[in-house]
Amino acid sequence: MNQKELNNSIAIASMRLAVIQPAFNNTYPDMTKSAYYVRIAQQPFKLPDGREVRYTPGTFACWESDFRKGGFDALIPKERSDRGHTRKLDADMIAKIYELREKYPRLTATGIRDKMIMDGFMKETDASVSTFQRFIKKNNLKGASAPGQKDRKAFEEEFSTGMYQADTLYGPFLTENGMTRRTYCIMILDDKSRMIVGGKFFYQDNSVNFLQVFKDAVASHGIPAKLYVDNGASYKNSQLPLICGQLGTVLIHTPVRDGASKGKVERNFRTLRTRFLDTLDTASIPSIGELNRLLTEYIRTHNTSVHSATGMIPHVRYMEDIFKVRMPKSRDWLNDCFLYRVKRKVRNDATILLEKQLYDVPMEYIRCSVEIRYNPSDTNSAFIMDGDRRVPIRLTNKVENGKTTRNNPYSLNYGGNSL
């Protein structure tokens, strides 16, 4: 299984987790678990490749049993069911269809396909006209009129940690060590309590920094049942679904180009800007560390003051549901959940490339495909996951390797004197 197939399998596993989560959390609205499975079996489920399939209640029960026994890994398909066949509409193509439908509301399915081919976005052989017609019909994207405004309703999670919402806000420019750079505030908000469970400024808006904030939020305030994020690069990558799966968290992305769906976190950012950012004298802030110290004070004030939308103090509202909060089993378990996973093919010189650096691996893995797990902030702790065994790898030192004596008839001792 290559990296692309692994990403697809992780997405399928995330979908399966979302389906069975009400069952193993005992939060299904039906009279019995069986009734819940029978009800949801009546609707089709959309796979990452755009296909819609139906499952039997027994399939859902098997997924639940697998998850209870083996965790998220047990939900990952071992091999893609459509191996050897063309995947018709991938995520990029689907996003492009929505974009063209919004821009050209009267364009037909054939017209959308022709436009994508003419723009060089796809080849004519990538997907047929009927594929486009089926997708547009099933997703109610027919033309002839501009899409109407979406039906929105105010919602709120039943319990605290039922959902965390995360997003990034452009922060002020800071001058540190003679360099002036833009800052980015990554913040996570609990949907029910409105408590800010994580927030920090960085000089880069990327997935590594978001996962640092998310990990600290989970360690301090508990594991969310759902994580609601947008479609930015920091939140849509191959590692986040896998990490959420390990935690037992359902990952949800906002609809494409639908900023209004993030109303609570956007409102939180507006308050942050008016009550905090607009009051700062950035010229007097010497470092991002000092900026984060000030942010910590703001978050403490926010969490201990009455929130206008709920009429309650966020921390008090969170504590009312403390019996529902699921905390990590241990720090080691949490660290393992947040490890990156990548597939690598071991080269003939017993090395792999990880984060643009070479690493030595045991010679027994030469020409094998292995799974590497590592902390992106500390790649020196990377290892091969071989079943239940963790096999350490090390940063390649070519000079040191050149002094190694090979056990063969033509061995050269690079560390000794020549004869």
CB 22 within 8 A of CB 28: yes
Query: Which residues make Cβ contacts (< 8 Å) with residue 242, sequence separation at least 6?
Result: 10, 72, 341
**pLDDT of res. 407:** 52
pLDDT > 70 in the chain, percent: 88
**pLDDT of res. 346:** 94
- The tokens describing 262, both together, are 């993030």
pLDDT > 90 in the chain, percent: 44
What is the rounded average pLDDT of the residues 323-336?
A: 94
pLDDT higher than threshold 80 for residue 117: yes
Third-level CATH fold of 91-138: Arc Repressor Mutant, subunit A (1.10.10)
Domain map of the chain by residue range?
A: 3-75, 91-138, 164-324, 339-402
The listed range with the strongest mean pLDDT (223-237, 258-272, 288-302) is 288-302
CA distance 97 to 118: 14
Average pLDDT, the chain: 84
**pLDDT of res. 6:** 75
**pLDDT of res. 1:** 58
pLDDT higher than threshold 60 for residue 136: yes
Lowest mean pLDDT among 52-66, 295-309, 400-414: 400-414
Third-level CATH fold of 339-402: OB fold (Dihydrolipoamide Acetyltransferase, E2P) (2.40.50)
**pLDDT of res. 73:** 86
CA distance 241 to 65: 21
Q: How does pLDDT run across 354-389, given as a tens digit for each residue?
A: 988 999 999 999 999 999 999 988 888 899 999 889
- 324-330: list long-range contacts, CB under 8 Å, 24+ apart: 324/159, 324/160, 324/161, 325/160, 325/161, 325/221, 325/222, 326/161, 326/222, 326/223, 326/248, 327/222, 327/223, 328/218, 328/219, 328/223
What is the rounded average pLDDT of the residues 283-299?
A: 95
CB 49 within 8 A of CB 90: yes
Owner of token pair 């950035």: 282
pLDDT higher than threshold 90 for residue 102: no
CATH number of 164-324: 3.30.420.10
418 confidence band (pLDDT: 50, 70, 90): very low
Q: How does pLDDT run across 174-190, given as a tens digit for each residue?
A: 999 999 999 999 999 99
What is the rounded average pLDDT of the residues 334-361?
A: 93
**In angstroms, how far is CA 396 from the centroid of its own chain?**
30
CA distance 2 to 313: 48
**pLDDT of res. 108:** 84
57 confidence band (pLDDT: 50, 70, 90): confident
CA distance 107 to 7: 33
pLDDT higher than threshold 60 for residue 82: no
**pLDDT of res. 30:** 86
**In angstroms, how far is CA 302 from the centroid of its own chain?**
27
What is the rounded average pLDDT of the residues 64-88?
A: 71
